[in-house]
Amino acid sequence: MRVLVSGSGGREHALVWKIARSPRVEAVWAAPGNDGMAGDAVRVPDVAAGDTEGLLRIARDEGIDLVVVGPEDPLVDGIADRLRDAGLAVFGPSAAAAQLEGSKTFAREFMARHGVPQPAFETFTDLDAALAQVRRAGGPCVVKADGLAAGKGVAVCDGPAEAERALREIMADRRFGSAGDRVLIEERLVGEEASYYAISDGERVVTLAPAQDHKRALDGDRGENTGGMGAYAPAPVVSEAVEKRVLEEVVHPTLRGMRSEGATYTGVLYVGLMVDAEGVPRVVEFNVRFGDPETQPLLVQMSGDLVPLLHGAATGALEPQTVAAEDAAVCVVLASGGYPRSYEKGKPIHGLEQASAREGVVVFHAGTRATPDGGYVTDGGRVLGVTARGPDVASARARAYAAADCIDFAGLHRREDIAARALDRAGRDG
């Protein structure tokens, strides 16, 4: 099988890495890819992830059997529809189904129609009305830009003052552009977050290990929301009982609801959850693609072959199965100083070879650029995802941080508490 992956970040590097190791795969192409993928894929750097004609040209010239769409923007814009119309097998939902991520208002209203558990919410297009609401309600809340904002259009607010700042930044300052034309003000849920992944062909479902992302920039879940500062899998907060509820109350009703509304969902459904102290799950958000950086530990810990799941979902022939993942994995993101706001690029990166040589470690590139002398410099906000596998979360975490300690560049920022909640939970349960 010949596979084309679209996208250029750490998630796509992880997908390319895993797909290239499938015994069913002859070769992998990445468009545009990144410089760190060179050992696993043929890069086509002049074709963007949303370039339909460019992707079709690669598919035609290289005899591609499967296209895996990595990022959300092209999916929301309908690229999966256009590629399917051209006769290709595509892993990723239609534009109609991708509204689950493309519009948070659509997702909330959809969940309300189909009885999917979620926080209370209100939607606003007028800044003054939104400001009046947070002042009137008082207390904690969550402010969200309705549209796509690279995972950063969410502000978790302790009170009205923070909410007002977030609303002005989104609606008046236009930090996220047209994504902020409409905002949601939501109930702030209390509990522990988790990411749940269900691969579907529209009818059948195969689930992956639950993961936990670390969205806030600073230790202790403080600071601004980011695209993700690290992740680990499996996440013990999703117990067998919680998982049963997620499938029965969230995943299957969502897939049934999409079918009933004429937007059959194929691809991976990412369910962002908040699980309270009683084990009750509610949906924080839906994504219509693999998460970043959760994909990195999910695929490193996964023992089986990912390709049959991707191809089965793309062709309507997904075979129900249990995905083998006996170990745990942890990803520590190394970011540029200043991320998620302004940051400098072009900082030389040291220690990549030493980190990659450590047992159980894979270093995924997210924002790097190769230099003529064979080195790398920083070229993005999230630069690297240092990911390690181990027999349990504690050992995987120790390996990931030991490898991360090998790497240095000017302004490097990382969190020091990735997977700490899992260790705390193990200590309590032990």
- Whether the CB-CB separation of 387 and 300 falls below 8 Å is answered with yes
353 Rama class: left (phi>0) / alpha (psi -120 to 50) / beta: alpha
- Whether the CB-CB separation of 28 and 35 falls below 8 Å is answered with no
Tokens of 355: 């980190």
Q: What is the pLDDT of residue 321?
A: 85
- What's the start-to-end Cα distance of the chain, in Å? 46
CB atoms within 10 A of CB 344: 11
Residue type, 261: E
User: Where do the structural domains in the chain lie, given as residue ranges?
Assistant: 2-91, 122-186, 190-315, 328-429
Q: Tell me how far CA of residue 10 lies from CA of 16, 146, 344, 381, 395, in angstroms.
A: 10, 25, 19, 11, 22
* 328-429 CATH fold: Glycinamide Ribonucleotide Synthetase; Chain A, domain 4 (3.90.600)
pLDDT-based confidence at residue 339 (cuts at 50, 70, 90) = very high
Angle between helical axes of 160-167 and 127-137 (0-180°, round to 10): 170
What are the tens digits of pLDDT across the range 294-309?
999 999 999 899 999 9
> Rounded to the nearest 5 degrees, what angle is found at the Cα of 261, between the Cα atoms of 257 and 264?
75
Dist. CA 317–CA 309, nearest whole Å: 9
Dist. CA 26–CA 307, nearest whole Å: 12
pLDDT-based confidence at residue 427 (cuts at 50, 70, 90) = low
CB atoms within 10 A of CB 337: 15
Nearest to 141 by CA among 115, 167, 117, 179: 167
3 state DSSP class of 131: helix
Give alpha helix (H) positions in 283-406: 295-301, 307-315, 352-356, 393-404
Q: In what order do the strands lie in the sheet with 192-200?
A: 205-207, 192-200, 267-275, 281-287
Nearest to 125 by CA among 146, 150, 95, 153: 146
What are the tens digits of pLDDT across the range 177-217?
999 999 999 999 999 999 999 999 999 999 999 999 999 99
Dist. CA 430–CA 426, nearest whole Å: 6
* Cα 343 → chain centroid: 22
DSSP state of 262: T
- Whether the CB-CB separation of 138 and 149 falls below 8 Å is answered with no
* Cα 323 → chain centroid: 19
For 91, phi then psi, to 5°, come to -95, 110
Nearest to 318 by CA among 308, 331, 326: 308
- 417: which residues sit within 8 A by CB, 6+ positions away? 214, 219, 220
Question: Which CATH number, 3.40.50.20, 3.40.30.10, 3.30.2020.30, 1.10.10.10, labels domain 2-91?
Answer: 3.40.50.20
Q: What is the pLDDT of residue 320?
A: 87
- 320: which residues sit within 8 A by CB, 6+ positions away? 204, 205, 206
- pTM for this prediction: 0.93
Does the pLDDT of residue 430 top 60, yes or no? no
What CATH number does the domain located at 122-186 have?
Answer: 3.30.1490.20
Tokens of 421: 């909640």
- Whether the CB-CB separation of 349 and 376 falls below 8 Å is answered with yes
Which comes out higher in pLDDT, residue 86 or 321? 86
Asked which of 110-114, 127-131, 319-323 is least confident by mean pLDDT, the reply is 319-323
For 244, phi then psi, to 5°, come to -60, -45
**Mean pLDDT in residue range 223-249:** 95
> Mean of the per-residue pLDDT values for the chain?
95
Does the pLDDT of residue 429 top 80, yes or no? no
Tokens of 204: 């059948």
On whether the 190-315 domain is CATH 3.30.70.3270, my answer is no
